Amino acid sequence: MNIRHTVINTNTEFDNLETEWNLLCEQTNSHVFQTFDWNRTWWKYFGDYGKLQIFVLYDEDKIAGIAPLFSDRYPLFGITSYTTLRLIGSNVGKTRDGPLLGTNAYSDYLQFLILDKYIVSFYEHLMVFIKNEVLFDSMILEEIPERSSTLALLKEDFSSSGLKIEIKNASKTTRITSEESGWRGYLKKLSGNERKNVQKSLRKIERTEDNVFRIEMIDRSENFELHLNQLIELHQDQWNREGFPGTFSQKSMKNFFLETCKKLQSKDSIRIYALLPAEASEIASSVAMGIVIIYNNQMYLQHGGMDMTSPLIHIGPGKILNAAIIREAVQANFTFDFLRGNEVYKKRLANKINQNSTIEISTGSARLVLLNKIVNATQRLKKRSANERIRKDIVTKNHSVAAGLYHYTLFMFGRIGNKLNRA
């Protein structure tokens, strides 16, 4: 075998990988977050201050593995003082809109794409790349799934290379794996109370005396983008009412999501579900909406939102819509993935909890440890400051200065009370 590797540094070279990249996704245990469209669109909106370092392993002219990496830089006082090698889709030090407000990578699962027979060769060439071909202070790989070949690959001892590796727990994701006995089998594995709640929710959309809602599914509609924006508005309003910015408070995040969804729609890989009052005829009347991505026999619940002003909100439209989407996934023999989040309902409905990992590789020198702590502390401070400004604007909107201060003070005390209760 003529095994070699190359490193992609330009957008043109990146674009040229599309066909083989997607073929590699089909041949590996990939998630939608590893597809070319997801990575290329993410780089378009969040790669402004980084540099592409996409590692590609070849056997002759055939791609055998890809590590979609980039070099990220962290400025302190206007000077780049710390660089990291990260996977495309990760958190970043800076975007055109400032720091990403979330605390995690936007992509819920990140990993290398490697054909099984080339894992050893991939590791050997990657070590050459890491040691000799790229300058960075640390390599930080976020949200690596627990059964990923990336995690298995990098659990090796790096001491002979003069590098130190540290593996930490990252986010948890919740999933519903397919059942041989279908929907009935899934229901049997729920607790008695949860099973009753699911069945009660589903009766609200069935032709019975309990019927309150109906569901519309939108995938090929010409008005797909219109409904997508409607979902975003519901999502934002729901979170804003609780004093939080919401996923789409940053323009770059919203534009990334819109463009990605349009690309997925062109491949019949995305659906919007709308829960409407039974007598309503227009999607605009939706009480709850959810968007799912379908890829590789998996259904990902990406985002949702509810109309908090609806007189039907007390019935629990979010629960009803979730139950209907889960039933459809299980009946289609898909794995249903809630993705990240510590919401109690996810744990009650899921039959598997995954533990993602963060992998950090560096020389482990005292200087780098100190720089890492300074950078992380600075990033947290920037994000908290930006989040707090948005929260203040949300809470004090349409109030005078005095009234705004009063409402913001109440909001802050409420947050403190909630934290104490959770503790």
Residue 72 falls within a domain, yes or no?
yes
Residue 259 falls within a domain, yes or no?
yes
Residue 396 falls within a domain, yes or no?
no
Q: Are residues 226 and 80 in the same domain?
A: no
Q: Are residues 208 and 96 in the same domain?
A: no
Contacts of 157 (CB under 8 A, 6+ apart): 165
Q: What percent of the chain clears pLDDT 70, i.e. is strictly above it?
A: 93
Residue 329 falls within a domain, yes or no?
yes
Q: Are residues 167 and 200 in the same domain?
A: no
Q: Are residues 145 and 223 in the same domain?
A: no
Q: Are residues 162 and 34 in the same domain?
A: yes
The domain boundary residue, chosen from 306, 333, 360: 333
Stated pTM of the model: 0.89
Residue 369 falls within a domain, yes or no?
no
Q: Are residues 135 and 240 in the same domain?
A: no
Q: What is the CATH number of the domain that holds 245?
A: 3.40.630
Residue 381 falls within a domain, yes or no?
no
Q: Are residues 78 and 34 in the same domain?
A: yes
Q: Are residues 238 and 99 in the same domain?
A: no
Q: Which of 158, 283, 277, 134 is nearest to 211 (CA)?
A: 277
The amino acid occupying position 195 is R
Number of domains in the chain: 2
Least confident of 15-24, 161-170, 308-317, 334-343: 161-170
The domain boundary residue, chosen from 333, 352, 379: 333
Residue 292 falls within a domain, yes or no?
yes
Residue 121 falls within a domain, yes or no?
yes
Instruction: Indicate the average pLDDT of the chain.
Output: 87
The domain boundary residue, chosen from 299, 333, 367: 333
Q: Are residues 150 and 280 in the same domain?
A: no
Least confident of 46-60, 76-90, 243-257: 76-90
Q: Are residues 20 and 141 in the same domain?
A: yes
Q: Are residues 114 and 226 in the same domain?
A: no
- Residue-range definition of the domain harbouring residue 212: 179-333
CB 138 within 8 A of CB 361: yes
More confident position, 306 or 91: 306
Q: Are residues 65 and 191 in the same domain?
A: no
**So what's the pLDDT on residue 188?**
92
**So what's the pLDDT on residue 102?**
63
Per-residue pLDDT at 164 exceeds 60: yes
